[in-house]
Structures are given as structure tokens and as C-alpha cells.
Copies of this chain bind each other. A is one copy, B any other.
Amino acid sequence: MSMEKVKTGIDGLDVMLNGGIPKGHAFTVMGAFGTGKTTFSLQYIWEGLQQGESGIFITLEEDKNAMIETGLSYGWDFRKYIEDEQLAVEKLTPADAEATIQKIKSDLPKFIKNFDAERIAIDSISLLNMLAETPREKRDQLFALSKMIKDTGATALLTAEVKDDNPESSRDGLIEYTADGVILLRYNETKTGEVQLSIQVKKMRRINHSREIKPFVITDHGIDVQVDGTVF
């Protein structure tokens, strides 16, 4: 049985994934601060736009203008796609927890459903989940959000922050189990003070993928995975 794949826009990663993310998957990109999760999200959405696909970018970290500026710094001009309504950017405001939770419970599902996006990126699911008060609320919110996104049929990327003391586990320790795939971004430090970023596909349901850890760099054109390189 042949399976439809969605390209991430990061060539080396698509090789590791045997062609891309299975269409309809909700996958997570996990990593500590500074490992390039926001860049990954933007690159993923940009790739879709180039393929003619529509996208929704939901951001809690930067506002719309900052997101556009960040894109421009990589040579990706999101403005025309926003004008053409091929791309929607939704800013959630963590400083107003109640309003944000209300929004993701009512307006956002309707909006996402109506927009009929092929790609969705949420940056970040951890910050969103931090707004829920109790473990139960966090859990229920995550399950509800996952279900809502899966029901749209879009291929969705959710960035997640990792635990301080365990860079292979998400803050809530839940998304990696419920997600269809987990791509892990890591910081590696050598004893001489050099630092290398690395990427690994820890999990991707329904496809055979590489499990190797590969180095990557963030250039003026975004993330570039060196599929032939090794990590220290």
C-alpha cells in the first residue's frame, strides 16, 4: 500500500523520513530553547505554501509582526500568502490565560475547520498547556486539542519544550506518546567549547524511518540537515 507523504522542507530530514511525514499525522518537534523549533515550524509552513498548500500558524511566542520579520531573516516572505489568505497567522496571548483557553475551546476549532488548512503549526504546545491550571486540565486540554487537530485531516506540527533535566522528554511527558511522530532537536557540546545541533526521528507511526542522530545547522536559509555527517 502506497502512503501519501508531506515534505517538511528540510531535505535531509525528508530523506531520514523516507520521503516525508505521512499525510494527516500530528507530530511533535521537541527540543530545548535555542534548538530551532520556531525556525522548523516556519520552514514547514513555508514549504507547504511553495507546494500550493494552505497553512495555519498558531503562535504563542512571537506576535505576527515578529513572526513575519523572523521569516524575512530566512528569506521567506509570508506577507503575500497572508494577503492571499493561503496562510493564516493566529496569535495567542499567554499573558491573558483565560481568554486564550476560551479561544482554543471555541473560536479556534471553528476557524481551523473553516480555513481547511493542509498544514498546521502550533508554536508551542507547551506554552499553551502551561495555561491550564491542574494536571487534569492539562491532560484533558491536550487530548481535546489533539483530537480537534486530527479531525481536520491536516498534517500538524506541534513544537514542545523539553524537561530541564531530560532533553528527550517533553515538559508534560505526554505529547510524545499521543503524537504520531516525534522529531527531537538537541544541543551537543564538546569539551573544547564547540556546540553542534542534532536531529533525530525518535518515532513516526506507519513508516520505516532512520533512527540515526544527524547534525544540522541553522543558516540564512533555515535548517539544513547534514545526512552524511556524524555527531561527535
For A164, give its contact among B143, B163, B205, B206 (CB under 8 Å). Answer: B163
**Chief secondary structure at chain A's binding surface:** mixed
Q: Is the CB of B203 within 8 A of A33?
A: yes
Known: A33-B177, A133-B136. A144 touches B231 (CB 8 A): no
Closest residue on chain B to residue A148 by CB atoms? B95
Known: A177-B127, A193-B198, A213-B195. A182 touches B34 (CB 8 A): yes
A231 → B minimal CB distance (Å): 4
| A interface residues, tally (CB under 8 Å) | 69
A34 to B179, CA, bound (A): 10
A72 to B207, CA, bound (A): 11
Q: Is the CB of A33 within 8 A of B176?
A: yes
Asked if A219 lies at the interface with its beta carbon under 8 angstroms from chain B, I say: yes
Closest residue on chain B to residue A24 by CB atoms? B66
Neighbouring B residues of A105 by C-beta, 8 Å: none
For A231, give its contact among B70, B192, B207 (CB under 8 Å). Answer: B192
Asked if A53 lies at the interface with its beta carbon under 8 angstroms from chain B, I say: no
A180-230 at interface with B (beta carbon < 8 Å): 182, 187, 189, 191-195, 197-198, 200, 202-208, 211-215, 218-220, 230
A203 to B163, CA, bound (A): 17
Q: Is the CB of B207 within 8 A of A73?
A: yes
Q: Which residues of A contact B (CB under 8 A)?
A: 1, 3, 33-34, 38, 61-62, 66, 69-70, 72-73, 93-95, 97, 124, 126-127, 130, 133, 136, 139-140, 143-144, 146-147, 161, 163-166, 168-169, 173-174, 176-178, 182, 187, 189, 191-195, 197-198, 200, 202-208, 211-215, 218-220, 230-232
Sample of 19 further A-B pairs with CB below 8 A, known A94-B143, A97-B143, A126-B177: A1-B69, A1-B73, A33-B177, A34-B202, A34-B204, A66-B205, A73-B206, A95-B140, A95-B143, A95-B146, A130-B139, A130-B174, A161-B177, A164-B169, A164-B173, A165-B165, A187-B202, A193-B214, A195-B211
